[in-house]
Amino acid sequence: MKNSIAESVANFLKDFKPFSFLSFEDLKSISKFVKVIHLDKNQKLFQINDELHNSFYVVNSGVIHLTVFSDAEETLLNKCYAGDVFGLRPFFAKNNYQMTARANEEAILFAIPIEKVKPFVGQNAEVLNFLLESFANNSNNPADKDRNKLLSDSVQLSEFQNDFSFIQSLTYNKKPLLVEHDQTIREVAVLMTDNLLDSVFVKEQNKLVGIVTDSDFRLKVATGKQAIQSHIDKIMTFPVITVTENISLAEAQLAMLSHKVHHLCVTIDGTPHTDVKGVITQNDLIQAQANSPGVLIKETKKALSASDLKAVYHSLSGIIQQAVTKSIPLQHLYNVSGEVTLAIIRRAIEISILELGSPPVPFAFLSIGSQGRKEQLLLTDHDNILVYQDVDIQQVRDVKDYFNQLSKKTTEVLEKVGYKHCEFGHYANNQKWCKSLTEWVKQYENWINTPGEFTNEHCSIFFDYEFVFGDQNLETAITETIFKTKSKVLFLDYLGNDALKKPAPLSFFKKFNEEESGPNVGKFNVKEKAINQLVDIARLLSIQHGLKGINNTYSRYKELAIKDTNNAEIYLEAADTFLLLSRYRTLEGLKNDNSGEFIDIEKLSKVDKEKLKESLHILKDLEEIVKDTFQLTQFS
């Protein structure tokens, strides 16, 4: 490509992220290798299951539609306009494309060679973080109209087995061997042998100047090119590739690929100018991959005991604790945690069945409450119910006895794994919540038709559920009961009034309503005074709009934005607010090893205080929607 064209491409790219993070000179050097692609209307660039290209793409002009197949129909996933970047899968995954890219009108694209970009990605944290965070965030909502962002090719959550490495932290040797540049090769070889290490960092006047690995000994000493009496700096490799202490698996992989090295030096700030804190090897990457969520799910399927599942549970906890501190979309973490948790519960049931024998009739085991919404990251308990198929009266006792035993054994396994039992008894081991389909249908109809004092409490637990194991038709029957029951007016009024009566998060003077007494005096209860109301209103409006099978609060608001376009902006803001508040709670919980409900406002930065306070204003807008929808007042 001629320099004039390269400069023209660079001039275009510089206005869009992540290219805006690079210098213009760097952009020009990349642009020399960019290819210009012309697509006619309806022409495909790639389609589902095509092999990955060696480039990703930027739209110069025109519109590109990204589509997937859902329920045997082609579904529009997103639209890409000028400046949008798509086709990132080759950066982070090896499996084929998971979507189709087609020109909706005549379009011109820039094909950016991945190999030419990787060196700049490895050297520029802003570019790398932008790519990683964007790849983590599935842009799968047609109503999502944010422009100037990268579009993920990761369409289905089930693919996190391949794509979770962007948030996985690494375990590595934090006591690397350091030697002086004038030590002999023989001395260093003895030190490496004694310490069972395959690398050593070389310093001169307390400055990091190089690295020596087993490979250097083979190529430069064993071949006779250097004598063992020579100084170690004669065979060292330099400069040393340095990274920060909190580097993720994907970041480390990219750094090694970009620089064609097998060792990374960990320093305090990621530069050679601060103290060496460790060394990362390719073996560390392999070990980290063995602890990916996809591998954890495979491990649950092979587990034979509670102790096997407990090891998976601890690995998951470690992954989540490391990941939540990164700027990764919390919804992705919720989904990943939820999927692994479901796999653990599923295997706990299977282990119990192996001990008891085959169930006498079909049944369904459902997770309920926050676990059913896949919104648990901290201090997880287990809330669940069991539904079994109706039987003749002669069989009732034996069948009920079997499922009571199954529930009890499953609960025992889960508690040995680390999932605490619900203090309110909302689990299948409680005979109240282990019963036949007919009994469950009557229970739900009773809650809906004759709401009373505990309506909202039951609704917040039993109306959010996720199928875990068994016959899904039984779960479907319960869902149909909830949405087919005609006399829901009084039920929804009860729920609406309860949502309006939640404690206000802010005072009249716009100050946080902090606890006035008790062990958490002076702290802000983010769950009781903000998150609960977001959850309850999302559930209420989802039932009102007939949103079946959508149990997650974030997803409910996203779907409501499509259903109720008049209030779309409010719902989208509510979805973001839910994730923001949940992140504050999660970080607080990790810091204090508790549920994270009570936030010490005084310990937040000024920016975080304002961000938190500003986010709470959406609750008033949601309350107005509830009042208008159900003709309620706060005095109803």
Instruction: Give which of 555, 549, 385 is closest to 479, Cα–Cα.
Output: 549
* pLDDT score for 139: 37
Phi, psi of 449 (to 5 degrees): -80, -30
Phi, psi of 85 (to 5 degrees): -110, 135
Q: Is 364 left (phi over 0), alpha (psi -120 to 50) or beta?
A: beta
User: How far is residue 610's CA from residue 32's CA, in Å, rounded to a whole number?
Assistant: 45
Whether 160 shows a pLDDT value over 60: the answer reads no
Whether 382 shows a pLDDT value over 80: the answer reads no
* pLDDT score for 277: 92
Residue 172 within any structural domain of the chain:
no
Residue 168 within any structural domain of the chain:
no
More confident residue, 126 or 437: 437
Q: Strand pairing of 384-388 and 381-382?
A: unpaired
More confident residue, 269 or 478: 478
Cα distances (angstroms) measured from residue 488 to each of 285, 456, 527, 536: 54, 14, 27, 16
Q: Are 455 and 494 in contact (CB under 8 A)?
A: yes
314 and 395 together in one domain: yes
Task: Please give the share of the chain, as a percent, with pLDDT higher than 90.
Answer: 35
Q: Strand pairing of 420-421 and 85-86?
A: unpaired
Cα 377 to chain centroid distance, Å, stands at: 11
Structural domain of 606:
491-630
More confident residue, 60 or 155: 60
469 and 595 together in one domain: no
> Which three-class secondary structure string do you get for 175-244?
CCCEEECCCEHHHHHHHHHHCCCCEEEEEECCEEEEEEEHHHHHHHHCCCCCCCCCEHHHCCECCCCEEC
* pLDDT score for 143: 32
Question: What's the one-letter identity of residue 128?
Answer: L
Residue 165 within any structural domain of the chain:
no
Q: Are 552 and 375 in contact (CB under 8 A)?
A: yes
pLDDT, tens digit (0-9, with 9 covering 90-100), for 48-65: 878 888 898 999 888 888
Residue 636 within any structural domain of the chain:
no
* pLDDT score for 159: 40
What is the rounded end-to-end Cα distance, in angstroms, of the chain?
A: 71
pLDDT, tens digit (0-9, with 9 covering 90-100), for 112-146: 998 888 777 656 666 766 665 555 443 333 333 33
* pLDDT score for 284: 85
Q: Are 9 and 73 in contact (CB under 8 A)?
A: no
Of 485, 516, 551, which residue constitutes the final position of a domain? 485
Whether 636 shows a pLDDT value over 70: the answer reads no
User: How far is residue 40's CA from residue 377's CA, in Å, rounded to a whole number?
Assistant: 47
Residue 297 within any structural domain of the chain:
yes
Whether 540 shows a pLDDT value over 50: the answer reads yes
User: How far is residue 448's CA from residue 442's CA, in Å, rounded to a whole number?
Assistant: 10
DSSP 476-520: HHHHHHHHH-S--HHHHHHHHHHHHTSPPSB-TTS-B----SSTT
Whether 346 shows a pLDDT value over 90: the answer reads yes
Mean of pLDDT values over 150-171? 48
Instruction: Give which of 16, 258, 323 is closest to 120, Cα–Cα.
Output: 258
Tokens representing 392 are 């003749």
Residue 593 within any structural domain of the chain:
yes
Task: Please give the share of the chain, as a percent, with pLDDT higher than 70.
Answer: 85
Mean of pLDDT values over 450-477? 86
Of 453, 485, 517, which residue constitutes the final position of a domain? 485
Whether 155 shows a pLDDT value over 50: the answer reads no
323 and 438 together in one domain: yes
* pLDDT score for 187: 93
- Give Cβ neighbours of residue 393 (< 8 Å, ≥ 6 apart): none
Which residues lie across from 100 on neighbouring strands? 67
* pLDDT score for 1: 42
454 and 309 together in one domain: yes
* pLDDT score for 42: 87
247 and 325 together in one domain: no
Exposure pattern of 525-561 as b/e (b: 16+ CB <10 Å)? bbbbbbbbbbbbbbbbbbbbeebeebbbbbbbbbbbb
326 and 213 together in one domain: no
Which residues lie across from 74 on neighbouring strands? 69
* pLDDT score for 75: 67
Tokens representing 254 are 């990219």
54 and 106 together in one domain: yes
User: How far is residue 259's CA from residue 275's CA, in Å, rounded to a whole number?
Assistant: 21
Whether 347 shows a pLDDT value over 70: the answer reads yes
Q: What is the CATH number of the domain that holds 228?
A: 3.10.580.10
Residue 635 within any structural domain of the chain:
no
Cα 259 to chain centroid distance, Å, stands at: 29
* pLDDT score for 471: 92
Instruction: Give which of 24, 151, 159, 143 is closest to 100, Cα–Cα.
Output: 151
pLDDT, tens digit (0-9, with 9 covering 90-100), for 274-317: 899 999 998 888 777 666 777 788 888 889 999 999 988 888 88
Cα distances (angstroms) measured from residue 358 to each of 305, 349, 353, 362, 470: 18, 11, 6, 10, 12
Reduced to 3 states (helix: H, G, I; strand: E, B; else coil), residue 600 is coil
* pLDDT score for 212: 94
* pLDDT score for 504: 86
**Number of domains observed in the structure of the chain:** 4
Q: What is the CATH number of the domain that holds 375?
A: 3.30.460.10
pLDDT, tens digit (0-9, with 9 covering 90-100), for 5-23: 788 888 888 888 888 888 8
Confidence label for 171 from pLDDT (cuts 50, 70 and 90): confident
357 and 256 together in one domain: no
Whether 106 shows a pLDDT value over 60: the answer reads yes
Mean of pLDDT values over 604-621? 90
Whether 354 shows a pLDDT value over 50: the answer reads yes
User: How far is residue 315's CA from residue 309's CA, in Å, rounded to a whole number?
Assistant: 10
Residue 555 within any structural domain of the chain:
yes
Residues of the chain by 3-state class (helix, strand, coil), percent to 5: 50, 15, 35
User: How far is residue 336's CA from residue 346's CA, in Å, rounded to a whole number?
Assistant: 15
More confident residue, 140 or 338: 338
pLDDT, tens digit (0-9, with 9 covering 90-100), for 72-99: 456 676 778 888 888 887 776 666 787 8
Q: What is the CATH number of the domain that holds 41?
A: 2.60.120.10
214 and 121 together in one domain: no
Of 458, 485, 512, which residue constitutes the final position of a domain? 485
More confident residue, 420 or 352: 352
* pLDDT score for 24: 86
Whether 111 shows a pLDDT value over 50: the answer reads yes
Least trusted range by pLDDT, from 120-134, 204-218, 240-254, 557-571: 120-134
Find the radius of gyration of the CA atoms of the chain: 28
Please confirm whether the linkage preceding 18 is cis (ω < 30° from 0). yes
Q: What is the pTM of this model?
A: 0.63
* pLDDT score for 635: 43
* pLDDT score for 325: 67
Whether 66 shows a pLDDT value over 80: the answer reads yes
Q: What is the DSSP letter of 601?
A: G
Whether 485 shows a pLDDT value over 80: the answer reads no
Mean of pLDDT values over 455-465? 82
35 and 141 together in one domain: yes
What's the CA angle centered on 473, arms 467 and 476, to 5 degrees?
Answer: 70
Reduced to 3 states (helix: H, G, I; strand: E, B; else coil), residue 364 is strand
Confidence label for 486 from pLDDT (cuts 50, 70 and 90): low
352 and 374 together in one domain: yes
* pLDDT score for 488: 80
Helix (H) or strand (E) holding 636: none
* pLDDT score for 532: 92
User: How far is residue 612's CA from residue 442's CA, in Å, rounded to a whole number?
Assistant: 42
18 and 75 together in one domain: yes
Average pLDDT, the chain: 83
Reduced to 3 states (helix: H, G, I; strand: E, B; else coil), residue 456 is helix
Q: Strand pairing of 434-436 and 384-388?
A: parallel
Size of the chain in residues: 636
Mean of pLDDT values over 31-48? 89
More confident residue, 289 or 393: 393
* pLDDT score for 177: 94
Whether 151 shows a pLDDT value over 50: the answer reads no
* pLDDT score for 145: 35
Q: Are 506 and 620 in contact (CB under 8 A)?
A: no
Q: Strand pairing of 420-421 and 465-470?
A: unpaired
Tokens representing 106 are 């005549």
The beta strands (E) that lie in 358-413 are given as: 363-368, 381-382, 384-388
Q: Are 181 and 202 in contact (CB under 8 A)?
A: yes
